[in-house]
Amino acid sequence: MANVANKVSWSSKDDEGRPGESTPLLNGSPSASPSPGLSRQLSQNNFFRIDRLTTVNLDDDTAQDQDGDSSTYVSKEITHNENLLSLKYESLDYDNSENQLFMEEERRISKIGVHVLEIKRWVVCGFIGIFTGLIACFIDIVVEKLADEKYKVVKENIDKAIEGGGLSISLVLWASMNAGFVMIGSILVAFVEPVAAGSGIPQIKCYLNGVKVPHVVRLKTLMVKVLGVISSVVGGLAVGKEGPMIHSGAVIAAGISQGRSSTLKRDFKIFEYFRRDTEKRDFVSAGAAAGVSAAFGAPVGGVLFSLEEGASFWNQMLTWRIFFASMISTFTLNFVLSIYHQKPGDLSNPGLINFGRFQSEAVQYNWYEIPIFIIVGAIGGILGALFNRLNYCLTMFRIRYVHRPCLQVIEAVLVGAVTATVSFIMIYAIYTYDCQPVGEDPIKYPLQLFCPDGEYNAMATAFFNTPEKSVQSLFHDSPGSYNPLTLGLFTLSYFFLACWTYGLAVSSGIFIPSLLIGAAWGRLFGIFLSNVSAVSTWADPGKYALMGAAAQLGGIVRMTLSLTVIIVEATGNVTYGLPVMVVLMTAKIVGDFCIEGLYDIHIKLQSVPFLGWEPPEKSHALTAREVMSYPVTCFKKLEKVGRIVDILSDTSANHNGFPVVDENHEPDGDNVGRLCGLILRSQLIVLLKHKVFVERASSNLAQKKLQLKDFRDAYPRFPPIQSIHVSQDERNCTMDLTEFMNPTPYSVPGEASLPRVFRLFRALGLRHVVICDGSNGVIGIVTRKDLARYRLHKGQLEELEMAHT
Amino acid sequence: MANVANKVSWSSKDDEGRPGESTPLLNGSPSASPSPGLSRQLSQNNFFRIDRLTTVNLDDDTAQDQDGDSSTYVSKEITHNENLLSLKYESLDYDNSENQLFMEEERRISKIGVHVLEIKRWVVCGFIGIFTGLIACFIDIVVEKLADEKYKVVKENIDKAIEGGGLSISLVLWASMNAGFVMIGSILVAFVEPVAAGSGIPQIKCYLNGVKVPHVVRLKTLMVKVLGVISSVVGGLAVGKEGPMIHSGAVIAAGISQGRSSTLKRDFKIFEYFRRDTEKRDFVSAGAAAGVSAAFGAPVGGVLFSLEEGASFWNQMLTWRIFFASMISTFTLNFVLSIYHQKPGDLSNPGLINFGRFQSEAVQYNWYEIPIFIIVGAIGGILGALFNRLNYCLTMFRIRYVHRPCLQVIEAVLVGAVTATVSFIMIYAIYTYDCQPVGEDPIKYPLQLFCPDGEYNAMATAFFNTPEKSVQSLFHDSPGSYNPLTLGLFTLSYFFLACWTYGLAVSSGIFIPSLLIGAAWGRLFGIFLSNVSAVSTWADPGKYALMGAAAQLGGIVRMTLSLTVIIVEATGNVTYGLPVMVVLMTAKIVGDFCIEGLYDIHIKLQSVPFLGWEPPEKSHALTAREVMSYPVTCFKKLEKVGRIVDILSDTSANHNGFPVVDENHEPDGDNVGRLCGLILRSQLIVLLKHKVFVERASSNLAQKKLQLKDFRDAYPRFPPIQSIHVSQDERNCTMDLTEFMNPTPYSVPGEASLPRVFRLFRALGLRHVVICDGSNGVIGIVTRKDLARYRLHKGQLEELEMAHT
């Protein structure tokens, strides 16, 4: 490793190397900014939109990370694509900084104090469950009321038009009502809080993975999300209200656990102990689980979702608390809805979507059906991959051309109107083919259209209905309720509508549309099977609708264990466990062969440094020394204030962690300082703000000793360095970092392989790993980006480019 | 920290310090062996029995760890109690030794090779599922056949005796049949394989926690376990056949994944890649999950059980594979049993125990029942704690007085006879009080006794039946099937019988007896409630029987999430999720207030160095330097063979990992070598066996290069050092450890707090953590025992004694 400079730079002004830039070991050219071929100025996507910044924006999570770049910030154009890795995203710090203040607090805390803390955690989880359940109730009730109102108006109009003519006016009425609702939602999303777009699941995945996504857990986001999802569902888009619940739960968790809201500018002075990344992320896991639980009535599925997406280390008590939040959430929803529906105490509808109870005879399956389930899974995998591929192309198009908020609103409104039109045409098109007698079906507004009296249009069950109800009727309507042509046309049109809808600047879930598409073709498949005379006894279309729904959803999102459990819990019957699992497994294998899951595509397109479960294959060839960033800006234990301010203000380097090296050690020939601690930018900022200088301490003995509380008060939005005034006199003072640095940061030797560093980093949720030489000298530092940068591409390890935007 | 010697000893003969012995920082006296007050020579318990060793016993897992102690091995008397920590238990090594051989192999492996490995893992998991399911079938069918036969004979005899007199002969017949079956099982356990005693769940917990329990995953153990559990269930003991399934699944997994069996002395030469602790433990997790799955028809519960007990790092693909094994296992069981019961393809009985389908109206619960569920949970917690306390005293008694195999057999036979007698007396005692009409009940052999014609004795439903069937009838029999007196007497007698039975030298599960006790008092509680007129409409005794069963089981074993899911899955209905969770949570809180869970008690009594989820509270006051073992025996990169052999043969030190230090580094004044690697005893043994000496390599160029395969072939029973002959000439040779040592062992500075070391150790599943000073010099080593040694006792951190036995 002769080409690796073994130096630690001591002077801040000399330090021109950026930690984000690595030695070009794999691609041979030192390219830190996107290479010419890749540097098309792709525009900002609405998906993970970085907020429009001003230089000093105290109200911005990312201010401290971005302050340095404000001068070079090129309007709103951001280069994002899947071959880049953005340096904008910071890591969460799941590792406690065990400095002297922390240790003192830990030692001071009494046994009762520990119990009180534990009880507080349970209380917080209880509240998370209650509020998540209430939000879900609110969304459900408002959507139901508004949608009822809308369908009533449209139905009356259509019924009138059938008698008196003027069906085109009905179409216009329907389309404009939809467009109106969608417009409200998309204006909110596009102009007020772009991060509330979509389901929020990719963002929560990133957060739980340890990436700070700006604005993702803010109250404003929650409000936009809730109103947005109501608008889009009522607006008749091909979306569900379930996905956004996960995001909503996460925001509620973050808000309650911190005991304050910056949107409301209120600090309730409670739960102050929880104001750090470690605790906050645990609660956000609980919130996400509570969200899943309320959405699907699946408390165990919710816990597994949180674990699948976020667990770095499984902890029994934490999991148990998460389960508690989930249970409370589904119970609250169920209880409140039972009162609302005037059946108080009827606890049989635990989720926003309920797949309904499958009859015992339909629940049965035979072992020889398993190959058929595998075929269903494969179809789901292929269709899911097709969906993802189309959506990928669409998203690339949107990143390039549809980046301005007003264009986004126009697109959303257009989709709303087109959805209504397509539905209308579909219903109209099959009016003579598929009329069904009005029975005990769950449709509230059976559209008669041109059907004989006492019958209704079957296509309208699917289109003239909220998607949740349509899924239910596809699962449970008696065989023969749907004509194959109806199902075929519906699948086709809804597939493209849903694909177009995902990624719009509206709050929307992909779960329900996927289930609906899958249920439609699954039922079609079931009808086809039951026409084969030999199997007609067991080929229940409802059963195959369920399998198709699972296959389609699995093919799109590629979740595994948690999705199986969610579907089983939503079905309310464990007997389907094995078939659902077989279907999901096949769908995932087939789908993964073609393209990644939808969430992963969107995460990659946003250049988020996301860490997978395992290091990329073939990465054993790389060592820490090869992937680390160097030279490292280090501090001494006793450091000049001026140097600290200069380094923190340095716009070219965007360091967040600084190794502290031994000042007493006589530098060897190669001038490497020995590691004796690690201090974070946020800690230095607080120290500077409180002017904790050695000289002041001696001159003013009465000065209040800095406490952990001071750090917590500043969390999570530490002020940028520019907002802290340091006089020329103060610049010559000294700061003693000993008490505040983490004296035992994790470090590995330079010879450690990438997988080894990766596992350490991932298992402990770290933010920095210091790389040391044989005598503990600091030679480099590894952060999330250094690890996320490598991926396997066509059998070869490939290095992603770094982008500063 | 002036009292910590900063030395690394270089000469083996000087090295008298034992790594197991720590500086007495907490209790003030340097006691490495049990202090006089504690050193009563407690005898060997049958629970985690250490096998009777000979000095060189190649067929023994622990040979390498214990060889040194054979001379000092004091007959069979072992000092075990909960205040000791045995040094006998070694850790598993979940961290790959990333030496040059490993890296070369990893780099050589092609993309296809990676896929083939992955497919092999799935295949192994599939086989684990299939074989676990088949074992469960075998147990189920044999138990059913034999129990049927037994009950038929006894019933005929009783029926005859009622007519002709001589009921005491029936009692003798029944008691002696039971005693006979129990004797077979207990002879097998006591004389052939003591580790097969009990449910095996504590042993599997320890294994998944990372502790090597001798013999626990051997084929012989499996065979004894299976035959043993059949004998004890047929012998009418208060045991279930479900718990042992978990152990059986684990053994199957270990066997299949290694592709060989030392009991059969066969090596199938397959799956050789999986011959290391990392892979093996993953498969054992899958096996345990498959066991739970087959036992309770609870595949998700199985996965959660594995995670709750064993996960150190959650891995999505691993979890998914575990789930696959679970699914296959329950499917196999269900499928085979459906054929056996002549209903092929009927997949509605996925487990050994099936709680039966609760009717929809009974499934309902009202929100105002939740406080009642909390009361049920509290009762369960108290009764569970009482059970555990009694069993603790009993176990202490057994450890002291009932340690010889023949005594154990006698005790077991006695319990078998007493159980039959008590049952008989109970049935006889209530014969006039509780006669029920023969209906559609699931009892196969309704005992009429002195009841009128067409009626049967209700107590006999509970006693004259396999416990699984009794649980079902308590859950589902119509209200009024049981007289409160019957239930009360049954609860009382079964409680003490079950308590006496657990810990006998027989294979037995505690799940079913707990469920049965709980179901009995739960039903009693339900009857009491329904007599309160206001609540009689909803207080279904069956529902409260289920809650009572959950409460009692939770109060005894204190499992959380996994138990909730297991019960919900066994019930087949997710609606009960919240009440079951409330009940289990209350039972755990109340129970934990009194005494630990049953499994933890037994683990502690065996002095196993078990690591919890979190470091003990208040341990922030300790640093790595205070808990580490020192001085450490280190090797140089180029080391004399003689010194290696001497150190490995040293009977006083039982080291398993040796830091390798830099030989080129000029020793400072304090003579600390700089860490540059870590080598394991097992690796050194293989090197010595293959005589990988520098001198031989140069003299004989054709010598085969050592490969990872050679290490895998020796896994897991590396020969003891005494079996390797090293001539005097060879003693003067040199060994180059560079290629074989792990060049990047995890190390932490001496100032790191105990919780920090604990988390690193636990999250990564380590076996050794090297403690270094500021310039990377080795000052100590931390192993599992150094971490497990501390516990919170009465608000103070307490240090356990170390025992060499």
> Tens of pLDDT along B325-365?
998 999 899 889 988 988 776 777 778 887 777 765 545 77
Tell me the sheet residues that pair with A629.
A781
- Residues in chain B within 8 Å Cβ distance of A795: 111
> How many distinct helices (H) and strands (E) make up chain A?
29, 18
Contacts of A749 in chain B (CB under 8 A): 743-744
pLDDT at B52 over 50: no
pLDDT at residue B552 above 90?
Answer: yes
pLDDT average, residue stretch A361-372? 74
Cis peptide before B716 (omega within 30 of 0): yes
Contact: B574, A577; criterion CB under 8 Å: no
Shortest CA distance from A559: residue in chain B: B316
User: Could you give phi then psi for residue A551, rounded to 5 degrees?
Assistant: -65, -45
pLDDT of residue A63: 33
Burial of A277 (0-12, 13-18, 19+ CB in 10 A): buried
For B581-598, how does the pLDDT look when each residue is reduced to its tens digit (9 = 90+)?
889 999 999 999 999 999
Task: Select from A70, A418, A62, A452 the least CA-distant residue to A236.
Answer: A418
Put simply, the answer to whether B575 touches A300 (Cβ < 8 Å) is no
Nearest residue of chain B to residue A335 (CA atoms): B367
Query: Could you tell me which chain A residue has the CA closest to the CA of B762?
Result: A313
Q: Do A575 and B327 touch (CB under 8 A)?
A: no
- Cα angle A412-A416-A418, degrees, rounded to a multiple of 5: 115
> In chain B, what residues touch A564 (CB-CB under 8 Å)?
300, 323
φ, ψ at A308 (rounded to 5°):
-60, -35
Instruction: State the smallest CA–CA distance between residue B725 and chain A in angstroms.
Output: 35
The whole-angstrom separation of Cα A101 and Cα A326 is 35
Interface test with A, best of B115, B318, B367, B782 (most A CBs within 10 A): B367
Contact A315 B613 (CB under 8 A): yes
Q: How far apart are CA B770 and CA B780, in angstroms?
A: 6
Choice between A284 and B690, residue whose per-residue pLDDT is larger: A284
Mean of pLDDT values over A244-270: 86
Beta carbons of B760 and A764 less than 8 Å apart:
yes
**Least confident stretch, A137-151, A695-709, A727-741:** A695-709
Record: contact A775-B775, CB cut-off 8 A = yes
pLDDT of residue B511: 92
Q: With residue B219 as reference, give the H or E element that holds it.
A: helix B219-234
The dihedral sign for the CA sequence B362, B363, B368, B372: positive
Mean pLDDT across the stretch A149-175?
85
Domains recognised in chain A with CATH numbers: 111-341 (1.10.3080.10), 361-402+469-606 (1.10.3080.10), 624-803 (3.10.580.10)
Whether the predicted pLDDT of A15 surpasses 60 = no
d(CA B203, CA B214): 10
Contact between residue B226 and residue B135 where contact means Cβ atoms under 8 Å apart: yes
Position A291 scores a pLDDT of 95
Q: Could you say which of A347, A564, A578 has the minimum Cβ distance to residue B575? A: A347
Residue of B nearest to A119 (CA): B589
**What confidence tier does A26 reach under pLDDT thresholds 50, 70, 90?**
very low
Question: B317–A756: do the CB atoms touch at under 8 Å?
Answer: no
Q: Can you give the length of chain B in residues?
A: 805
Residue B52, min C-alpha distance to chain A (Å): 36
Mutate to test the interface with A, among B114, B293, B300, B348 (most CBs of A within 10 A): B300
How far off is chain B from A427, nearest CA to CA, in Å?
37
pLDDT at A694: 81
CA–CA separation, B641 and B730 (whole Å): 7
Strands (E), A27-168: 84-86, 90-91
Chain A residues closer than 8 Å to B297 by CB? 574
Chain A residues close to B307, C-beta within 8 Å = 307, 314
Residue A98: its pLDDT value, please? 85
Total beta-carbon pairs less than 8 A apart between chain A and chain B: 212
Nearest by CB to B620, from A103, A299, A746: name it.
A103
Predicted confidence band at A271 (pLDDT cuts at 50, 70, 90)? Answer: confident
d(CA A517, CA A513): 6
Q: Regarding predicted confidence, which is higher, B267 or B217?
A: B217
pLDDT digits (tens, 9 = 90+) for B609-668: 888 888 888 888 889 999 998 888 899 888 889 999 998 888 777 778 899 998 654 545
Instruction: Give B-chain residues touching A573 at CB under 8 angstroms.
Output: 572-574
Q: In this model, does residue A474 exceed pLDDT 80? A: yes
Cα–Cα distance measured from residue B787 to residue B781, given in angstroms and rounded to the nearest whole number:
11
Taking an 8 Å cut-off on Cβ atoms, the answer to whether B774 and A106 are in contact is no
B662–A774 C-beta distance less than 8 A: yes
Cβ-defined contact of B744 to A764 (cutoff 8 Å): no
* pLDDT mean over B31-37: 37
| Chain B environment of A575 (Cβ under 8 Å) | 347-348, 350, 572
Which residues on chain A are in Cβ contact (under 8 Å) with B347?
A: 364-367, 575, 578
Say whether A303 and B561 touch across the interface (CB within 8 A): yes
Write the pLDDT tens digit of every residue in B697-727.
666 554 567 788 888 888 877 888 888 888 8
DSSP tag of B611? -
Mean pLDDT of A503-515: 92
How far does the CA of residue B186 sit from the closest CA of chain A (Å)?
A: 35
The structure's pTM equals 0.86
Query: In angstroms, what separates the C-alpha of A705 from chain B's closest C-alpha?
Result: 21
Q: Which of A327, A561, A775 sits opposite B577 (nearest CB)?
A: A327
pLDDT at A307: 86
The answer to whether the Cβ–Cβ distance between B323 and A561 falls below 8 Å is yes
A98 contacts in chain B (CB < 8 Å): 752-753, 756
pLDDT at B444: 61
The average pLDDT across A520-528 equals: 91
Of A216-230, A689-703, B419-433, highest mean pLDDT: A216-230
Chain B residue numbers touching A561 (CB-CB < 8 A)? 300, 303, 316, 319-320, 323
- Min Cα distance B233 → chain A (Å) is 28
Q: What is the pLDDT of residue B591?
A: 94
Q: Identify the residue with better confidence: A386 or A262.
A: A386
Which of A317, A335, A618 lies at the smallest CB-CB distance from B367? A335
Query: Residue B729 pLDDT > 70, yes or no?
Result: yes
Q: Which of the four pLDDT bands, split at 50, 70 and 90, describes residue A247?
A: very high
Q: Render pLDDT for B313-329 as a digit per residue (tens, 0 to 9).
A: 667 788 889 999 998 99
Average pLDDT over residues A65-93: 56
Q: What is the pLDDT of residue B55?
A: 31
**Contact between B577 and A300 using a beta-carbon 8 Å cutoff:** yes
Nearest CA-CA partner of A4 in A619, A654, A750, A797: A750
pLDDT averaged over chain B?
81
| Res. A757 pLDDT band, cuts 50 70 90 | very high
Write the ipTM: 0.85
Closest CA to A138 of A208, A223, A195, A209: A223
The stretch A59-66 carries a mean pLDDT of 35
Q: Which segment of A182-196, A473-487, B51-65 scores lowest on mean pLDDT? A: B51-65
Q: What percent of chain A has pLDDT over 70?
A: 83
Q: What is the mean pLDDT of the segment spanning B563-573?
A: 85
B620 → closest Cβ in A106, A299, A753: A106
Chain B CB contacts of A763 below 8 Å: 312-313, 763-764
Give the model's pLDDT for residue A698.
66
Per CB-CB distance under 8 Å, the chain A contacts of B364 are 346-348
DSSP symbol at A277: H
Residue A394 vs residue B110, higher pLDDT = A394
Percent of chain B with pLDDT over 90: 31
For residue B554, which residues of chain A lie inside 8 Å, CB to CB?
Answer: none
Rounded Cα–Cα distance for residues B486 and B474 (Å) = 12
* A384 — pLDDT class (breaks 50, 70, 90): very high
Q: Which residues of B touch A367 (CB under 8 A)?
A: 331, 335, 345, 347
